[in-house]
Amino acid sequence: MGHATIEWIYIGAVISILCWVGASAWNVEHQLEAAPPNAETIKVIGQQWFWTFEHEDGTKEVGELHVKQNVPYRFEITSQDVIHDFNVPDFVILMDAVPGRINTLWNVFDVPGEYLIQCREYCGLLHYNMRGKLFVEPASAESQSPESAPTTTAAPVASPSAASGNQTNQTSTAAGPSVTLNILEGASVQGNPAYDPDPLSVTAGDVVEVSNQDTVPHTATSGSGPEDPESGSQFDTSIIDAGATAQIDTASLAAGDHPFYCSVHPYMLGSMTVK
Ligand SMILES: [Cu+2]
């Protein structure tokens, strides 16, 4: 290889680096400018240890965010407890989520795909678990299935109307769900008992009412933990706020043991035995 060839490789590398630095700088500047008037607003709420996203039409997503390609979005970022940092590394999005304050930035997602959302500010014990998924849906996908990405398993936040619809499945009692699963006060502290009873015995078809008696949000999500590839495929209450309830319909569950856990606090483990 002659000197000339090596020089050209060197020049090429320098030009690439300069372009990359330029692109990054452009991105930062672009976020500091005012959002275009047609931008859609998404509220981003950080909380130990998950992200909630609220769209303009009022729909909420927990732990994942669906947006459309080439649409400008304006993010209003805040926190419910300590300081978090909303970070989407692939789009150079990085903004503190501060309690009592709303920080804004805007962005256009130009490449469809699945991207990581994370917290970049140490926010306590399970900071590492404060992750989410960003789904950028292709602009042409509107004619196909609206609003839903094929890989999604997490359900939207349980609404009272959806929950009451399940009550037709009840078999044994006259009113309300037939089985109760309690999330105990103090469950968020590692080592404390989390779910009661454990194991929970149900007959397929029972509606389980999950009652969060703790002071922070929890879930009951099927699977052995976040690394379980089947996580959430059997059932998932999504986030249950402190003092709130959600329901699990067991009609389609196979007989046997079904482990479940809390997606906010993955050390909270429980088991459901279906007869
Ligand atoms: Cu929890």
Instruction: Enumerate residues with CB within 5 Å of ligand 1 (an ion).
Output: 218, 262, 264-265, 268
The kind and range of the H/E element at 13 are helix 3-32
Choose among 94, 223, 259, 68: nearest CA to 146. 68
Give the distance (Å) from ligand 1 centre to CA of residue 129. 12
Domains recognised in the chain with CATH numbers: 40-143 (2.60.40.420), 160-274 (2.60.40.420)
What local confidence, expressed as pLDDT, does residue 260 receive? Answer: 98
275/201 Cα distance (integer angstroms): 7
What local confidence, expressed as pLDDT, does residue 101 receive? Answer: 96
59/155 Cα distance (integer angstroms): 12
Mean pLDDT of 27-45: 79
Give the distance (Å) from ligand 1 centre to CA of residue 64. 17
161/24 Cα distance (integer angstroms): 45
Give the distance (Å) from ligand 1 centre to CA of residue 230. 19
Give the distance (Å) from ligand 1 centre to CA of residue 255. 26
Give the distance (Å) from ligand 1 centre to CA of residue 48. 10
Q: Are strands 72-79 and 40-47 parallel, antiparallel or unpaired?
A: parallel
pLDDT in tens, 178-191: 899 999 999 998 89
Give the distance (Å) from ligand 1 centre to CA of residue 58. 24
Percent of the chain with pLDDT over 90: 68
What local confidence, expressed as pLDDT, does residue 10 receive? Answer: 82
What local confidence, expressed as pLDDT, does residue 35 receive? Answer: 85
**Per-state percent for the chain, helix, strand, coil, to nearest 5:** 20, 35, 45
pLDDT in tens, 49-62: 999 999 999 999 99
What local confidence, expressed as pLDDT, does residue 20 receive? Answer: 74
The kind and range of the H/E element at 5 are helix 3-32
Mean pLDDT of 57-84: 95
Choose among 126, 89, 111, 117: nearest CA to 217. 126
**170 pLDDT exceeds 80?**
no
Give the distance (Å) from ligand 1 centre to CA of residue 27. 36
- Where does the pLDDT of residue 248 fall: very low under 50, low under 70, confident under 90, or very high at 90 and above? very high
3-state SS, 96-127, equals EECECCCEEEEEECCCCEEEEEEECCCCCCCH
What local confidence, expressed as pLDDT, does residue 198 receive? Answer: 95
Mean pLDDT over the full length of the chain: 84
The sign one gets for the Cα dihedral 25, 136, 155, 59 is: positive
Q: Could you tell me if 195 and 184 are in contact, meaning their C-beta atoms sit under 8 angstroms apart?
A: yes
- Where does the pLDDT of residue 140 fall: very low under 50, low under 70, confident under 90, or very high at 90 and above? confident
What local confidence, expressed as pLDDT, does residue 174 receive? Answer: 44
196/269 Cα distance (integer angstroms): 11
Query: How many other C-beta atoms lie within 10 A of the C-beta of residue 115?
Result: 18
Give the distance (Å) from ligand 1 centre to CA of residue 59. 22
Query: How many other C-beta atoms lie within 10 A of the C-beta of residue 181?
Result: 25
Choose among 102, 109, 90: nearest CA to 46. 102
Mean pLDDT of 3-20: 75
Q: Could you tell me if 62 and 54 are in contact, meaning their C-beta atoms sit under 8 angstroms apart?
A: no
Give the distance (Å) from ligand 1 centre to CA of residue 78. 21
**173 pLDDT exceeds 60?**
no
Give the distance (Å) from ligand 1 centre to CA of residue 214. 9
**259 pLDDT exceeds 50?**
yes
What local confidence, expressed as pLDDT, does residue 31 receive? Answer: 53
What local confidence, expressed as pLDDT, does residue 171 receive? Answer: 41
pLDDT in tens, 15-28: 777 677 766 666 65
